[in-house]
Amino acid sequence: MVNNAKIGQKIYAIWQEWCVSGEVKEIHTDNAGNVTAYRWHGLYYLDADGKETDNRFYGEAGSTVEDTFLTGPEARQAAVKRSDDLYDSYCREIKTVEDLVNFPLHHCLTGEDAEEEARRAYEKRLKDILNMEAK
């Protein structure tokens, strides 16, 4: 988490499901003057190790201080932890057959907008509760 980045400084952020690098263009603060978010010009997508790839991130985006980091590996580590925590939360949510039936009604498990953590949790709990493999 970074709450002291400066205009023009390179930062690393969790943006949607991606980790990216960017250059700070604007700093947003609350009424007390505390930094709350950054607006940045995108640079590159990061790989699994938090290193910049050859894939450019074009345009501008924003991130909260909680989603902004000083290094790529920090951003990747935070994204992995967030994903793992979400997966664990979904697994705890599915305890019964009824939960299995209702879960897909509240989460997108397939397609372009699929929630990867929800899909993985659903498949695990399907195996745990009914001893079935997803097909």
Q: What are the residue ranges spanned by the domains of the chain?
A: 1-72
Largest CA distance in the chain: 54
Confidence at residue 16, expressed as pLDDT on a 0 to 100 scale: 82
- pLDDT per residue as tens, the chain (135 positions): 888 999 999 999 998 888 999 999 999 999 999 999 999 999 999 999 999 999 998 899 999 999 999 999 999 999 999 999 999 999 999 999 999 999 999 999 999 888 999 999 999 999 999 999 988
pTM of structure:
0.83
Which CATH architecture describes the domain 1-72?
Answer: Roll (2.30)
Q: 94-103: long-range contacts at Cβ-Cβ below 8 A with a sequence spacing of 24 or more?
A: 94/121, 94/122, 94/125, 94/129, 96/129, 97/129, 97/130, 99/125, 100/125, 100/126, 100/129, 100/130
Confidence at residue 73, expressed as pLDDT on a 0 to 100 scale: 96
Confidence at residue 89, expressed as pLDDT on a 0 to 100 scale: 98
